[in-house]
Structure 1
């Protein structure tokens, strides 16, 4: 069985978001060597930055830092090597999220933290006052600080300019600017989303939100210009509405990209809806249209998918035996198989990296398998394990138990 794991990355590196020590793009999988000494349990890819959470609760960040999104003063505009967030060294971080230019995290005690851009109150602080011309003077939060302090949080999720949390009681709360700027006045105090009870999982795109209840019902609200709410139309919703076309299915996971959404069934089938441009829904090269209601991704049928991650314009699906399929926009190498061709046809990503050093010296035979994937704006991260046994992977660690 597996004895070693590595964080791997590919795609755009212009802001250092790959964490490989330079700002180059990578069309093939490469190893984030700075994280090799640590046991990483989860990774998150944002629009222009990344983070990793270790088994012992350490949090590492890297990439774009002009708004304090790395959790320490932005002395440099970008950082291409992961560094630990020192303000959180005394807490055990278990889950985190990256929004447009802010980050959220939650520790094992249910305490939530926020940092980064805050001009719409998305970090839970009132923005600075307006100047004499009425222009809002932004206040970035460069050091992580507590947010939603009255809530015991189980999961955090971040949108373009808003934040959403799921409490241990199964309630959903939100703050910030939930719509494109100018449509709704920003709020910095958490407000409970009405109509949702016993929620098990949340997912947030740029300006839309998904919530999966324990009974399997999927709800959506927010921006809907490409049908990403799955309601059969393009009308935005300020309150949750049931996603159409999923009745009778047992859903086990959900994901939201910039303007598209996915749901995963207990049988390993993927359903996608929302913006279809660049083939990010995986319906094939000849079908890149937006979908107003969920449709099954037939090109992944029979692959036994256990996780789907949605990025800005691409997606990645992970199989039970640890293979990754990517589809969508292909420039900057974000699809991970050596071609910059945009495609709606899911293609497997080869994990062509060297075996762990200690096993290589012993001549042990084995292979890499992926256990978690995370799509960003133009890059992708994953955790890969070296297996010397059978081909099946224990997927109990594929996502955090949120």
Structure 2
């Protein structure tokens, strides 16, 4: 590759400014997030109604819905449709971050974790300071990022609907907040270690379910399970990790969790999906939108050499090794990215029809955009693309 240029692209619902394009319109085709063009973005995350980008130099940008202080900077506006830097974290180098229902988590290169946004269930980890007339803690929203889990050296953060999960450098998993819908289990604001997990190398969290991939290749799950998203062959919730069935003998390299569905990726580019199948978000075809209680191979992606799958609220996007993206699931609001608002369980390629970057020479103008990373949110998707010479 003689020269290259990167861009952040977005498509889908923009009603809360989550596309970052300067307005609140929805986009059925990919568009460039121009406010980030001068930054070297290395990672993006899409939440239910907001977005973030991490730069190579550790800067963190956020945009979208902001009514709970979710963007991490004052003033507390309703929505922001242009990415802006989280100044409270400008003196540290952020390396990874996550978006929950209405809170954010981030970790720096020293393993220090931070949280901000909605905190009524203790999901930001702040100790309760006030109580209502019934004695229930009143937790303030945290508009400015603050340290959380200060005793832990964190490698990865993940956020659910109202709870938080972190993976430490020792391979242990800790959690706090309200892991299930209110009333099912006691909420906690102090991190508690998840028992039964050792040498974990990757975690993924959906709305109310959790996945942990251990170094020995086994995948464990816990939390809500009403659609089989735990992959245990039933719909019984689990408060402790249980082994995901149907993946024996596979070399798993990546996992992802959507609102109510899950995926796992093997080292030879095969995708397995399970959980809620409504709207075709599992990618099993238009004639099979049923929920799956155990992982099943997504045969419609066979041979595509998938290197990443991202799961949103009701849609999914798979990324191939050669930089193509395939979307499937619910199609309204343009979230599938190919100009049609048709819901489908058939994976279809997302065209990256953008002009070449300005800095390419006339010789290189016949190149193409290839995707490097994809992130699905509730009703929108973000991706990092790179210009590659032909």
Q: Which bracket does the TM-score occupy, shorter chain normalised? A: over 0.9
After superposing the two structures, state which structure 1 stretch, 130-139 or 178-187, moved more: 130-139
Q: Is the 8 A contact 2:260 2:313 kept in 1?
A: yes
- Does the alignment pair 1:320 with 2:321? yes
Deviations 1:254-305 (A, max 9, x none): 0000000000001100000000000000000010000000000000000000
Which residue is equivalent to 1:72? Answer: 73
Cα separation, 2, equivalents of 1:70 and 1:229 = 30
Which residue is equivalent to 2:202? Answer: 201
Shift of 1:45: 0.1
Which residue is equivalent to 1:280? Answer: 281
- Does the alignment pair 1:311 with 2:308? no
Aligned runs of 1:2-401 on 2, under 5 Å?
A: 2-132=3-133, 137-359=138-360, 364-389=365-390
* Corresponding residue SS for 2:295: strand
Cα separation, 2, equivalents of 1:349 and 1:334 = 10
TM-score between both structures, scaled by the size of structure 2: 0.98
Stretches of structure 1 lacking an aligned partner (at least 5 in a row): 390-402
Cα separation, 1, equivalents of 2:128 and 2:13 = 31
Cα separation, 1, equivalents of 2:94 and 2:219 = 27
Q: Is the 8 A contact 1:67 1:74 kept in 2?
A: no
TM-score between both structures, scaled by the size of structure 1: 0.95
Shift of 1:205: 0.2
Q: Is the 8 A contact 2:69 2:76 kept in 1?
A: no
Runs of 4+ in 1 over 4 A off after TM superposition: 133-136, 360-363
Cα separation, 2, equivalents of 1:326 and 1:241 = 30
Which residue is equivalent to 1:392? Answer: none
After superposing the two structures, state which structure 1 stretch, 1-10 or 169-178, moved more: 1-10
Cα separation, 2, equivalents of 1:326 and 1:46 = 17
Deviations 1:356-388 (A, max 9, x none): 011166763210000000000000000000001
Cα separation, 1, equivalents of 2:186 and 2:127 = 12
Shift of 1:76: 1.2
Q: CA RMSD in A?
A: 1.2
Shift of 1:134: 6.0
Q: Is the 8 A contact 2:122 2:139 kept in 1?
A: no
